[in-house]
Structure 1
Amino acid sequence: MGATNSHTKGCNSLSPNLWNPPWKGLWNGDSLAASRLGQLLVTGRTIKDKFRATHQTSLPEEKTAEHSLPRYMSLFLPEFPVWSAAGQPELKILGCVAKGSLGPVLKVLNCTEQKVFALKVLPKWEVLRRNTLRQCKEEVTIQRQVKHPFIQCLGESWQGQRHLFIMCNYCSYGDLYSLWMSAKYIDEDTVRLFAAELVSVLVYLHDLGIIHRDVKMENILLDERGHLKLSDFGLSRHVPFGERAYTICGTLQYMAPEVLSGGPYGHSADWWSLGVLLFALAAGKFPVAPARDHMSMLESVNIATYDVPESVSRGLTHLLKELLCKIPRQRLHYIHQFKSHIFFRGMTFDLALLQKFPVDLVLNMRKSEVTELPEFNVFDDFDCDLTETLQFPNTCNT
């Protein structure tokens, strides 16, 4: 007891400044205002010029010095190295692919390689405010570890003064959700192929001890041949076999009951999500309607009957019931269980053979659609660390 009291007293005698987190200064109004200087989207000017012009007219010099970010901001993540100006690629923003929970995903052109990539931009103040620092580190670490034909490939990752950047291969045919919404009906042969590709991915990840935790149609991209690429490992984590997770995370309609209840849960939670996804593809609707929060969703999931429409084949009906089993340990999860399943009769799980032929449904749907880029309204709060490598072209060539 004496040692404990002495230690506590010693801690209390420290300067109050030592108790403040080093990023506390980020939350004052002036610092945030500095990160949202003006509108960066003036036609025909690079965002470097836009920032300079706005910076000079909107922020006094003494404010710039007083509220500049501390030096640690470019050191606290070794997974995101600080590149020298000479080593940075020249990237042009062609459009916005999505607006994520932390920041946008941009479509960018590497001018040196003349190759298009998807660039995830994460503001550091949002990462800190939401306490997702560990998750950002794990996202990059996991994606560097995995290599699979049906996983979106990770490119470079780096940091500027105020943002983290994650670059991945760009998938030109959008995501599975957009296809599902456009097609209204997806034939079972295509569902079978998609299911085999996703099963092979999840078995691969689980063998490495990785839970994805956000398997959903929006996170499954389509490449130029119509095959799937699982993306967005922002919620993924390593969970060694025998251990369990407790964080309630993911997308409500896809979350397993054990996740909605706060755990414990393991890798089998991903198989429930796959069951929800395949149910929606086959039936044209989700098995359970969305709810306002996880407790309401859990109640809906527990009372749902998961009746499969009669138009769905017997084999697929059996597969859905075995994936949407409320007892985690009874869900299918071994590759041999899928290979011998009636729904996959005659289906290969060889990765090379799965990729051999293009997916006609995807190619035909995408060729008939014209995709317009959204407005650049997600760039209002970008600041100076983007100006070194990124610029807006006068016209966006897609």
Structure 2
Amino acid sequence: MGVNQSCRSPVFDEDEEVSFDHFQILRAIGKGSFGKVCIVQKKDSQQLYAMKYMNKQTCIERNIITNVMRELQLMQRLQHPFLVNLWYSFQDVEDVFMVVDLLSGGDLRFHLQQNVRFKEEMVKLYVCELALALCYLQRSHVIHRDVKPDNILLDEHGHVHITDFNVATEITASEKVTSMAGTKPYIAPEVFQSFVDGVSGYSYAVDWWSLGVTAYELLQGARPYDIHSSTTVGDVINIFREQRVCYSSNWSKGMTDLLRKLLMKDPVNRLSCWSDIQNCPFLSDVNWDAVLKKSVLPGFVPNKGRLNCDPTFELEEMILESKPLHKKKKRLEKSRNKHSNPLPAHIQTSLDTLRDEFIIFNREK
């Protein structure tokens, strides 16, 4: 996908809004339910980023444009060392773009599939870094609702960062959420119960349950409960009622105690806030200032000699994609000179509304 670059950096007007033209497309690295991701380089600063892009018409047809806009609005006000932070957002006639931190170390799911052995001290540091991120989200009144290895990216030094806020939600201090969201094996018991009774609701503690499931999976190579995407809600509730979590005798008493506190079925008793973290004996020796500054070195550093993701994304973009990103400029130029068939009225109305209401974002301004 890459194109040879001039050795001279282009000069952009400082008052000019950031757009697709400000970036060099380097390669595709991923795709999700809401869009695709590629590595880009900002032409003036030479800084590398990840760029997520979503086709506007497809989002409208799939009725997910509200999720996309909510994710954008959330990320515009969030910034933390252990989150994947938004730097720019913009649109063109085809797509909505989100330019975020580039984390070259891959996600934890990739490394689990590569049979990386995550030792206890490594997982302890991950829990500490992710706890700081979750405490920040809690202070910002945000529930992520999809913490899992797939949504935890490593930087080049091995520090963890939470990504993917497309099902995150904002709440007030005393508010409860009742809607079902997330990935079943990582969803807390109270979410399923709320879905069944429609009244009990849930809050920030659901993210800490997901953290517990993730930490357990990193250590054990399997999740604490045998729950899958195809498992029915009724079966999940029965599993929580009948099954007990098995903790390895190879883990330290402190780690087992921490996991037990994260995997408490009753959210009232679950470790789920900063005061709980501070009072956890296993974490009493942690230098939290050093963790926040990323001066505590992780025990696992991703391979810098290769791309830590599935290489088929690049092939799909080059061969199978009908509207490849690296040919966008030529395609849009042709479409301007060609009469296109009109879209259905409700699609066109939604596109017009999105075009007019979209908020361009530049964190540097």
The question of a shared fold, defined as TM-score above 0.5 by the shorter chain, is answered with: yes
**Deviation, structure 1 residue 94:** 2.3
Aligned pairs for 1:30-41 (under 5 A) are none
**Deviation, structure 1 residue 233:** 1.0
Aligned pairs for 1:1-398 (under 5 A) are 88-261=20-193, 262=195, 264-291=201-228, 292-295=230-233, 296-350=235-289, 355-363=294-302, 366-367=303-304, 371=308, 373-374=311-312, 375-378=314-317, 380-382=321-323, 387-388=328-329
- If the length of structure 1 is used for normalisation, what is the TM-score? 0.71
| In 2: Cα distance, 1:354 partner to 1:298 partner | 40
Identity of aligned residues (%): 28
Q: Is the 8 A contact 1:149 1:351 kept in 2?
A: no
Q: Secondary structure at the match of 1:388?
A: helix
| In 2: Cα distance, 1:332 partner to 1:143 partner | 26
Distance change in 2, residues 1:116/1:260 (3 Å) = same
- The one-letter amino acid of 2:255's match is L
**Deviation, structure 1 residue 155:** 1.4
| In 2: Cα distance, 1:355 partner to 1:381 partner | 42
| In 2: Cα distance, 1:246 partner to 1:386 partner | 43
Q: Secondary structure at the match of 2:224?
A: coil
Encode CA deviations 1:209-257: one digit per residue, 9 max, x unaligned.
1000110111111112211111111111101121111221111111112
Residue 349 of structure 2 is matched in structure 1 by: none
Residue 38 of structure 1 is matched in structure 2 by: none
Distance change in 2, residues 1:175/1:44 (3 Å) = closer
Distance change in 2, residues 1:383/1:373 (3 Å) = closer
Q: Secondary structure at the match of 2:300?
A: helix
Q: Secondary structure at the match of 2:114?
A: helix
| In 1: Cα distance, 2:331 partner to 2:51 partner | 11
| In 2: Cα distance, 1:345 partner to 1:382 partner | 53
**Deviation, structure 1 residue 102:** 2.2
**Deviation, structure 1 residue 284:** 2.1
**Deviation, structure 1 residue 367:** 4.4
The count of aligned residue pairs is 311
| In 2: Cα distance, 1:340 partner to 1:86 partner | 46
Distance change in 2, residues 1:386/1:85 (3 Å) = farther
**Deviation, structure 1 residue 376:** 3.3
Distance change in 2, residues 1:388/1:369 (3 Å) = closer
| In 2: Cα distance, 1:370 partner to 1:134 partner | 32
Q: Secondary structure at the match of 1:308?
A: coil
Q: Is the 8 A contact 1:252 1:294 kept in 2?
A: no
**Deviation, structure 1 residue 303:** 2.6
Q: Secondary structure at the match of 2:60?
A: helix
Gaps of 5+ in 1: 1-40, 46-82, 392-398
Q: Secondary structure at the match of 2:26?
A: strand
| In 1: Cα distance, 2:22 partner to 2:239 partner | 49
Instruction: Decide which moves more: 287-296 or 155-164.
Output: 287-296
| In 2: Cα distance, 1:255 partner to 1:342 partner | 26
Larger radius of gyration: 1
**Deviation, structure 1 residue 84:** 8.0
| In 2: Cα distance, 1:354 partner to 1:302 partner | 41
| In 2: Cα distance, 1:164 partner to 1:353 partner | 32
| In 2: Cα distance, 1:232 partner to 1:336 partner | 26
Which consecutive segments of 4 or more residues in structure 1 shift more than 4 A?
A: 83-88, 351-354, 367-372, 383-386
| In 2: Cα distance, 1:214 partner to 1:355 partner | 24
| In 1: Cα distance, 2:191 partner to 2:21 partner | 41
**Deviation, structure 1 residue 389:** 9.4
Q: Is the 8 A contact 1:260 1:294 kept in 2?
A: no
| In 2: Cα distance, 1:385 partner to 1:185 partner | 38
Distance change in 2, residues 1:290/1:390 (3 Å) = farther
Q: Is the 8 A contact 2:3 2:26 kept in 1?
A: no
Q: Secondary structure at the match of 2:21?
A: coil
- The one-letter amino acid of 2:251's match is V
Q: How much is the aligned-residue C-alpha RMSD, in angstroms?
A: 3.0
Distance change in 2, residues 1:305/1:104 (3 Å) = same
Gaps of 5+ in 2: 5-14, 333-365
Distance change in 2, residues 1:354/1:300 (3 Å) = farther
- If the length of structure 2 is used for normalisation, what is the TM-score? 0.77
**Deviation, structure 1 residue 109:** 2.4
Q: Secondary structure at the match of 1:201?
A: helix
Distance change in 2, residues 1:121/1:88 (3 Å) = closer
Q: Is the 8 A contact 1:150 1:229 kept in 2?
A: yes
| In 2: Cα distance, 1:121 partner to 1:273 partner | 27
| In 2: Cα distance, 1:88 partner to 1:180 partner | 34
